[in-house]
Amino acid sequence: MVEVVVAGAIAILAILVWTVKSMFAARRRMAQMRVDFARATALGAEPASLRPHVNLDVCIGTDSCVQSCPEKDVIGLVDGQARLVNPTSCIGHGECMRACPVDAISLVMGSEKRGIDIPLLQSDFQTSVPGIHIAGELGGMGLIYNAMTQGMQCVQAILENPPAPQAGVRQLVIVGAGPAGLAASLSAMEAKLDFVTLDQDSVGGTVLHYPRNKIVMTKPVHLPLYGKIQVTSVRKEALLQVWHDIIEKTGLEVRTGVKVDAVTRKEDGFFSVRTAEGEEIATQRVILAIGRRGTPRKLGIPGEEKEKVAYRLLDADDYRGSRCLVVGGGDAGVEAAIALGEAGATAHLAHRRRVFDRIKAKNQARLDEAVNANKVQLLLEASPKEIHDEEVLLEVGGEPVALANDYVFIFAGGVLPTAFLESAGIEVKRFHGEIYAPANA
Ligand SMILES: Cc1cc2nc3c(=O)[nH]c(=O)nc-3n(C[C@H](O)[C@H](O)[C@H](O)COP(=O)(O)OP(=O)(O)OC[C@H]3O[C@@H](n4cnc5c(N)ncnc54)[C@H](O)[C@@H]3O)c2cc1C
């Protein structure tokens, strides 16, 4: 009997200790959220593209958005309401919006300072041109999982009113074989549509151009004819291997090295998809899954056309001992500068602002470490003016600077292929923080 009472008392004590500990931990966390939110507000930090907007008149602080976010401490409760406490780490999953039980969260695109061009889409992924659909990052929602999901949903939407087979005319042409195009192609293959997939490069999309050994974070996804891809954190090379496994097992054919130059509607009502080689493919429907990275944003300065200038870094080890300038204040630029510094290059990082207000907290910590270890030299409030064979001329804090240099890496983001879209008649809108409702949100 005594043993039972003692055991009960110990159990109650343990529960009490656990409860008090949890309460203190929750308090510490809330205090940290408040600090993070104040810091982010002071910095004016904001995510690169898609982000949640919380309607504080509606938010009841359930915490479901915080729990649903796949990133760490991006959204948090401050004074009982949801706030974006770490905006630069937000990559627009949209899970918070889906999890909110009172619809207090909407997704907005761009900001007052930074307009983002997005083609207007309907809920079935159709553009302003009936019959031309868009899936993946081109439509404004990045990430591999989102792109694949949209690729599959886009074909499902087409199948609700499928084009009838016609001799000499494809039912569907899919442009782009990145995650969105690949998933769309598998859905089209499963539905036995008469389709063709074209890519100007190879299968894999942007993933192909990630730096060597990059860890890719994604979510498991079920693909038609293949099954579940069970990866969450995987090296780039392993993910590309999965892509090739899919092609091999399903027998999917992708015409690689075929660039599409234009999509136009002909008088007979069908579309003509014209390739750079001058081939014309007649089709009833088109899915554009061409992403946004194909055309890097340029600086537009003299010397930018030189061979020493690149818009991506595949292997930092190739530049050991070289004098490198990285231009850009986003995650990709910062990661490249750190990789170059660690590989033994002389790495300068030029950023036009005084602070890095768009990078992930983890990258800021890595950058501070690299700067302290003298592996990366920062040039703040800096803008390159001219690129020469042996040097780059910049303006740094209003003063002219000549920097000895072998290679320049520019990470200024990608531009929407606006001319391509507009020539097809697709309407594009610039978002400055307005609500954006991606089709699969
Ligand atoms: C450095 C970096 C790191 C990233 N890390 C991650 C990560 O860890 N996890 C994650 O989920 N996401 C990550 N992303 C984002 C992710 O890669 C993209 O959101 C995703 O690849 C978008 O897929 P998509 O199919 O829409 O477009 P893309 O992958 O860009 O594919 C578009 C395809 O279209 C082709 N194409 C373009 N124009 C034409 C044309 N005119 N004719 C024919 N073909 C054309 C291209 O060659 C390309 O193959 C990262 C992005 C970058 C740049």
Whether 402 shows a pLDDT value over 90: the answer reads: yes
CA neighbor of 218 nearest in space, from 183, 267, 255, 192: 183
Ligand 1 site, residue 139, Cβ cutoff 6 A = no
Whether 63 shows a pLDDT value over 80: the answer reads: yes
What is the pTM (predicted TM-score) of this model?
Answer: 0.77
For the stretch 291-336, pLDDT in tens is 987 778 889 999 999 999 999 898 999 999 999 999 999 888 999 9
Whether 73 shows a pLDDT value over 90: the answer reads: no
For the record, the structure tokens of 83 come out as 């706030």
Residue 66: what residue type?
V
Contact by Cβ (8 Å): 349, 337: yes
Ligand 1 site, residue 287, Cβ cutoff 6 A = no
Distance between Cα 118 and ligand 1 center (Å): 16
Distance between Cα 343 and ligand 1 center (Å): 26
Whether 23 shows a pLDDT value over 80: the answer reads: no
The pLDDT score that the predictor gives to residue 4 is: 79
For the stretch 159-208, pLDDT in tens is 999 999 999 999 999 999 999 999 999 999 999 999 999 999 999 999 98
Distance between Cα 439 and ligand 1 center (Å): 18
Rounded to whole angstroms, the Cα distance separating 25 from 28 reads 5
Distance between Cα 245 and ligand 1 center (Å): 19
Residue nearest to atom 6 of ligand 1 (CA): 216
For the record, the structure tokens of 439 come out as 């089709």
| 14-31 core/surface letters (b: 16 or more CB in 10 A; e: else) | eeeeeeeeeeeeeeeeee
356, 360, 366, 367: CA torsion to nearest 10: -10
Percentage of the chain modeled with pLDDT above 70: 97
For ligand 1, pick from 223, 290, 312, 440 the residue to mutate: most ligand atoms within 8 Å of CB.
290
Q: Which domains, from first to last, does the chain contain?
A: 26-109 (3.30.70.20), 117-295+416-435 (3.50.50.60), 309-410 (3.50.50.60)
For ligand 1, pick from 196, 206, 277, 359 the residue to mutate: most ligand atoms within 8 Å of CB.
206
Distance between Cα 147 and ligand 1 center (Å): 9
Contact by Cβ (8 Å): 279, 255: no
For ligand 1, pick from 134, 144, 246, 422 the residue to mutate: most ligand atoms within 8 Å of CB.
144
Q: What's the pLDDT band for 377 if we cut at 50, 70, 90?
A: very high
CA neighbor of 81 nearest in space, from 95, 98, 51, 102: 102
Ligand 1 site, residue 71, Cβ cutoff 6 A = no
Ligand 1 site, residue 198, Cβ cutoff 6 A = yes
Rounded to whole angstroms, the Cα distance separating 407 from 147 reads 33
Could you give the 3-state DSSP secondary structure of residue 6? helix
What is the mean predicted confidence (pLDDT) over 227-232?
Answer: 90
CA neighbor of 65 nearest in space, from 45, 85, 41: 85
Ligand 1 site, residue 153, Cβ cutoff 6 A = no
DSSP string, 217-252: E---EEETTTEEE--SEEEHHHHHHHHHHHHHHH--
The pLDDT score that the predictor gives to residue 47 is: 67
Q: What's the pLDDT band for 5 if we cut at 50, 70, 90?
A: confident
Whether 70 shows a pLDDT value over 70: the answer reads: yes
The ligand 1 atom at the shortest distance from the C-alpha of residue 180 is 25
Could you give the 3-state DSSP secondary structure of residue 339? helix
For the record, the structure tokens of 310 come out as 């690149």
Ligand 1 site, residue 384, Cβ cutoff 6 A = no
The ligand 1 atom at the shortest distance from the C-alpha of residue 137 is 26
DSSP state of 162: P
**What residues contact residue 314 under an 8 Å CB cut-off, 6+ apart?**
209, 211, 212
